[in-house]
């Protein structure tokens, strides 16, 4: 039975799980969540995920939320992407936790405010504050990637698939990969992985659907 991932193309958090599923070779299918139509705020969705968040993964009688947990699960099932040694496994988790707190959460919110809120509701001061804070996160990642192809070890791991997720999106949110040469090189390595797909090609849902 195929794994179901409740997701939408705009969700970088869902992309972390979708990309890991796709590159793992596991059989999976996306289930579109009408996030922008308010689906995650409805009672029925809260019954699946009390946190009211996308993504949600369902594999038979296993239901998981939080992209980092889904990535761990894919690692448990396939042995892939979790690091080659216990030390590497801890380092992978270190970067996944960092990403969830300092990179993706802040990029996700900034991108939402800049692109998906109605223009008259976009709070310029908050956006400026977030973009300034994010420079520290881009710097940490760019410095770490100096002389490295991957965040941990010698191949793609959950750390890469977590940290990269929002950085592939075309909507402007104050990040220009050309200004961060090590991040830019690393994103190109990820995109060169056999089977790699852009978030909008991997999951249903695209801002153009609402244009
Ligand atoms: N740490 C969570 C974050 C999930 C998350 O924030 N998802 C967003 C969509 S990208 C969401 O559903 N937000 C709804 C809300 O915050 O009310 C993960 O990695 O799965």
Please name each of the domains of the chain with its CATH number: 3-81+196-210 (3.40.30.10), 86-191 (1.20.1050.10)
Tokens standing for residue 124: 């310029």
pLDDT > 90 in the chain, percent: 99
Q: What is the pLDDT of residue 151?
A: 98
Taking only the tens place, the pLDDT of each residue in 14-52 is 999 999 999 999 999 999 999 999 999 999 999 999 999
Report whether pLDDT(206) > 90: yes
- Strand bridging mode 28-32 / 3-7: parallel
Q: What is the pLDDT of residue 126?
A: 98
Tokens standing for residue 155: 């191949």
Q: Is 52 in the pocket of ligand 1 (CB under 6 A)?
A: yes
Q: Is 97 in the pocket of ligand 1 (CB under 6 A)?
A: no
How far is the C-alpha of 116 from the C-alpha of 179, rounded, in Å? 24
Is 3 exposed, middle or buried, given 0-12, 13-18 or 19+ CB atoms closer than 10 A? buried
Q: Relative to the CA of 108, which ligand 1 atom is closest?
A: 10
Report whether pLDDT(211) > 90: no
Q: Is 83 in the pocket of ligand 1 (CB under 6 A)?
A: no
Q: How far apart are the first and last CA of the chain?
A: 35
The residue whose CA has the least distance to atom 11 of ligand 1 is 53
Taking only the tens place, the pLDDT of each residue in 64-106 is 999 999 999 999 999 999 999 999 999 999 999 999 999 999 9
- Give which of 38, 45, 33, 35 is closest to 7, Cα–Cα: 33
Taking only the tens place, the pLDDT of each residue in 102-153 is 999 999 999 999 999 999 999 999 999 999 999 999 999 999 999 999 999 9
Q: Running DSSP on this structure, what letter comes out for residue 17?
A: H
* pTM score: 0.98
Q: Which of 6, 36, 49, 54 to mutate to test the pocket of ligand 1 (most atoms within 8 A of CB)?
A: 54
Tokens standing for residue 208: 């153009």
């Amino acid at each position: 039975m195929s794994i179901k991932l409740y997701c939408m193309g705009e969700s970088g958090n869902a992309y972390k799980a979708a990309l890991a599923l796709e590159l793992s070779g596991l059989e999976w299918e996306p289930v579109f969540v009408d996030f922008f139509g308010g689906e995650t705020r409805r009672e029925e969705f809260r019954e699946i995920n009390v946190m009211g968040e996308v993504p949600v993964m369902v594999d038979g009688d296993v239901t998981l939320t939080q992209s980092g947990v889904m990535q761990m699960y894919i690692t448990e099932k396939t042995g892939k992407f979790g690091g080659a040694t216990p030390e590497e496994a801890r380092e992978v988790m270190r970067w996944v936790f960092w990403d969830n707190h300092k990179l993706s959460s802040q990029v996700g919110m900034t991108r939402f405010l800049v692109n998906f809120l109605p223009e008259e509701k976009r709070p310029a001061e908050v956006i400026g504050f977030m973009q300034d804070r994010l420079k520290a996160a881009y710097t940490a990642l760019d410095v770490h990637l100096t002389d490295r192809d991957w965040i941990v070890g010698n191949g793609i791991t959950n750390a890469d698939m977590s940290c990269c997720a929002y950085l592939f999106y075309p909507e402007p949110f104050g990040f220009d990969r050309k200004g961060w040469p090590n991040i830019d090189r690393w994103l190109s390595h990820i995109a060169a992985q056999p089977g790699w797909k852009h978030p909008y090609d991997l999951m249903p849902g695209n801002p153009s659907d609402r244009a």
